[in-house]
């Protein structure tokens, strides 16, 4: 058999088994090891399969999904259920007749007792009628029992079949879970890598911002010196001839350009990493979906046909227990990465550490709070310890390891806040908890 | 311009020139810091990228196993379908 796409194979089954005489027996659609079994089916069996596939033909699910659609099609259950319902109707008919007989017997019995009490002859002939009624009743009950046995056989078959298909589904759900679990764990690690990339980007961004501020400061001071030189009576040309001035201007321009290029490069790398992670997550989705398909097909439960218990055996309880079928818990499906997108941001609408917007190159404002990372961390931990206890303090060693910052790196409060937020996100700790500390630190 | 004025101007220019040299040193250090920062950032991102690649590669055998499960599932479902067809045809 040629390798064809799942959809094509299903269409082939659909068209061929609807016309079993055209082109001989259709075996397309079944796995090669099952083709032999299909070709040995009787004409009637093939006709039945045709009906089932015809119903399925409108559902566009390929591969295993398609076969699930066929195997779990209501068609099979309906066939058993139609028969079960027919037998149940027959039993109801017997019950009705027995009930009528019982009522008649009761009335005749009352007349017999009345006749006997009044010593009026004729009671015996009525008692004979009662016997006839009793025979008829027994006959009806026997027929009802036979029908009930037949019904139970069909009903049990339906339940057994349901159990069997559920058993297959459960087996595959279990197998999928075994493989999907490590896949989800790996995706979770990738999600952490994405958070780490964000943290690294923030660290670089804070460092770049700090450097740009300092370059701006140097440039301002250079301009002040140039103005002072001009004040001494030097011409602009003479001032421009100072090698230090020319070199400095070149370096400032070059420095800004290097930062711009590096930002672009880092953004490109970050986007590349995000893209790889998103692709990995997207690739996992069809497997998650297939597992869910197996879970969902079990939701189609057989019709429960309630029957009256046998009269001679009122204690009867059906021994057939339909096994319970675990369902995927609500919220199990969505992508891990999708979830992460929603909610671990510590703050809304920007950093809580944002300083008042002033002159971007203002040095005075920045120098006041530009501290070493170590000093910021020590300050943070002091506040956290005072408010929440030592358990919530940050491990300085871990912070420095993850951010790749040195304890002597100088950053301003706003920059430290941004890095801290990304650090908490990476560590999956809700930063909102520390809102009070953040407010105190910002004041 | 008097000699005194010339001397004062010369000293001012000398002071300012010294200040410029100091600023130049500072600018050089900043430029050096830019190079180090960029090198660190790029290195860290490259490390991370390598780890992401490794992690994605480690998922390949899992996908392969999942594909195998899918194939087996198709086979099992075939059997179930055939069994049902036979069973109902007899009834």
Nearest CA in chain A to B74: A64
Chain A residues with beta carbon closer than 8 angstroms to that of B37: 204, 207-208, 211, 262
Can you tell me the mean pLDDT for A258-283?
94
pLDDT, averaged across chain A: 77
Enumerate the residues of chain B whose CB falls inside 8 A of the CB of residue A27.
Answer: none
Written as six digits, the tokens of B24 are 């130049």
Mutate to test the interface with A, among B48, B53, B68, B85 (most CBs of A within 10 A): B85
Query: Which of A36, A37, A264 best probes binding to B when mutated, by most B CB atoms within 10 angstroms?
Result: A37
Q: DSSP state, A431? A: G
Q: Which is higher by pLDDT, A76 or B82? A: B82
**Do B74 and A63 lie within an 8 Å CB cutoff?**
yes
* A312-336 residue pLDDT tens: 434 434 433 333 333 334 333 333 3
The alpha carbon of residue A5 is apart from the nearest alpha carbon of chain B, in Å, by 13
Closest-CA distance of chain A to residue B36, Å: 11
Interface ipTM above 0.90? no
Nearest CA in chain B to A248: B24
Q: What mean pLDDT is reported for chain B?
A: 87
On chain B, the residues whose CB falls within 8 A of the CB of A80 are 88
Q: Are A410 and A401 in contact (CB under 8 A)?
A: no
Nearest to A414, CA basis, from A442, A440, A394: A442
Question: From B56, which residue of chain A is nearest by alpha-carbon distance?
Answer: A280
Q: Residues B20, B26, B32, B37: what is their CA dihedral angle, to the nearest 10 degrees?
A: -140
| C-alpha closest to that of A64 among B47, B51, B56, B67 | B67
Confidence of residue A263 (pLDDT cuts 50, 70, 90): very high
Predicted confidence (pLDDT) at residue A357 exceeds the cutoff of 50: no
Position A352 scores a pLDDT of 46
Q: Given B23, B51, B91, which is nearest A221 (Cβ)?
A: B23
Q: In terms of pLDDT, which residue wins out, A305 or A391?
A: A391
* pLDDT tens by residue, A183-202: 999 999 999 999 999 999 99
For the four alpha carbons of A153, A157, A163 and A167, in that order, the dihedral sign comes to positive
Asked whether the beta carbons of residue B49 and residue A272 sit closer than 8 angstroms, the reply is yes
> What DSSP designation does A358 have?
-
Q: At what angle do helices A123-231 and A74-117 cross, to 10 degrees?
A: 150
A52/A271: higher pLDDT: A271
B71 CB neighbours in chain A (<8 A) are: 31
Interface test with B, best of A6, A45, A194, A286 (most B CBs within 10 A): A45
Mean pLDDT of B3-15: 74
CA distances from A72 to A294, A342, A356, B19 (A): 10, 36, 64, 86
CB distance A412 to A366 below 8 Å: yes
pLDDT above 70: residue A73: no
Q: How confident is the model over A90-104, as a mean pLDDT?
A: 93
Q: A14-58: per-residue pLDDT in tens?
A: 443 344 333 334 444 556 666 666 667 777 777 766 666 555 554
- Looking at beta carbons, which residues of chain B come within 8 Å of A225? 16, 19-20, 23
Q: Using the 8-state DSSP alphabet, how is residue A403 labeled?
A: H
Q: Say which range, A1-10, A118-127, B50-59, has the weakest mean pLDDT.
A: A1-10
CB contact under 8 A, B66 and A186: no
Among the ranges given (A51-55, A159-163, A346-350, B10-14), the one the predictor scored with the smallest mean pLDDT: A346-350
Beta-carbon pairs below 8 A across chains A and B: 203
Q: Which of A39-43, A232-236, A345-349 has the highest mean pLDDT?
A: A232-236
Compare CB distances from B59 to A225, A247, A280 and report the shortest one's residue. A280
Distance CA A215, CA A255 (A): 8
Residue of B nearest to A214 (CA): B30
pLDDT band for position A161 (50/70/90)? confident
More confident call, B75 vs A134: A134
Q: Is the dihedral of CA A36, A39, A41, A45 positive or negative?
A: positive
How close A172 comes to chain B (CA, Å)? Answer: 7
């Amino acid at each position: 058999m040629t390798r064809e796409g799942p959809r094509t194979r299903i269409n082939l089954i659909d068209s061929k088994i609807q016309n079993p005489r055209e082109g001989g027996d259709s075996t397309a659609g079944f796995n090669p090891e099952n083709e032999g079994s299909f070709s040995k089916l009787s004409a009637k069996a093939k006709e039945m399969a045709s009906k089932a596939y015809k119903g399925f033909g409108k559902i566009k699910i390929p591969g295993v999904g398609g076969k699930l659609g066929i195997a779990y099609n209501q068609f099979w259950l309906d066939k058993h259920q139609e028969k079960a319902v027919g037998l149940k109707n027959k039993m109801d008919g017997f019950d009705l007749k027995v009930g009528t007989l019982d009522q008649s017997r009761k009335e005749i019995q009352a007349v017999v007792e009345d006749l006997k009490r009044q010593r009026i002859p004729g009671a015996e002939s009525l008692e004979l009628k009662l016997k006839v009624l009793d025979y008829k009743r027994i006959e009806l009950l026997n027929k009802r029992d036979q029908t009930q046995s037949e019904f139970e056989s069909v009903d049990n078959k339906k339940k057994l079949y349901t159990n069997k298909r559920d058993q297959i589904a459960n087996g595959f759900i279990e197998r999928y879970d075994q493989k999907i679990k490590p896949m989800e764990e790996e995706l979770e690690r990738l999600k952490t890598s994405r958070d780490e990339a964000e943290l690294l980007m923030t660290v670089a961004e804070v460092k770049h911002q700090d450097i740009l501020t300092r370059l701006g400061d140097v440039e301002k001071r250079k301009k002040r010196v140039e103005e002072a030189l001009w004040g001494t009576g030097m011409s602009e040309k003479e001032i421009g001839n100072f090698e230090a001035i020319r070199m400095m201007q070149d370096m400032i321009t070059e420095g800004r350009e290097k930062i711009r290029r590096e930002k672009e490069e880092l953004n490109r790398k970050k986007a590349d990493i995000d893209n790889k992670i998103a692709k990995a997550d997207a690739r996992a989705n069809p497997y998650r979906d297939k597992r869910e398909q197996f879970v969902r097909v079990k939701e189609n439960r057989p019709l429960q046909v309630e029957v009256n218990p046998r009269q001679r055996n009122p204690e009867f309880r059906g021994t057939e227990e339909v096994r319970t079928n675990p369902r995927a818990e609500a919220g199990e499906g969505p992508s891990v990465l999708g979830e992460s997108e929603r909610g671990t941001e510590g703050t809304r609408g920007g950093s809580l550490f944002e300083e008042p917007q002033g002159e971007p190159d203002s040095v005075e404002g920045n120098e006041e709070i530009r501290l070493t990372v170590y000093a910021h961390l020590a300050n943070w931990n002091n506040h956290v310890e005072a408010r929440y206890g030592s358990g919530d303090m940050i491990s300085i060693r871990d912070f420095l390891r993850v951010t790749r910052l040195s304890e002597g790196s100088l950053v301003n409060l706003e920059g430290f806040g941004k890095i801290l937020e990304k650090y908490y996100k990476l560590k999956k700790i809700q930063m909102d908890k520390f809102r009070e500390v953040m407010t105190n630190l910002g004041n | 311009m008097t000699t005194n004025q010339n001397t004062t101007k010369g000293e001012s220019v000398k002071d300012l020139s010294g200040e410029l040299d100091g600023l130049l040193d500072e600018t050089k250090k900043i430029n050096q810091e830019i190079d180090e920062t960029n090198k660190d950032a790029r290195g860290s991102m490259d490390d991370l990228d390598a780890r992401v690649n490794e992690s994605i590669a480690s998922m390949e055998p899992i996908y392969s196993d999942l594909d195998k499960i899918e194939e087996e599932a198709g086979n099992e479902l075939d059997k179930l379908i055939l069994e049902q067809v036979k069973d109902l045809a007899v009834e």
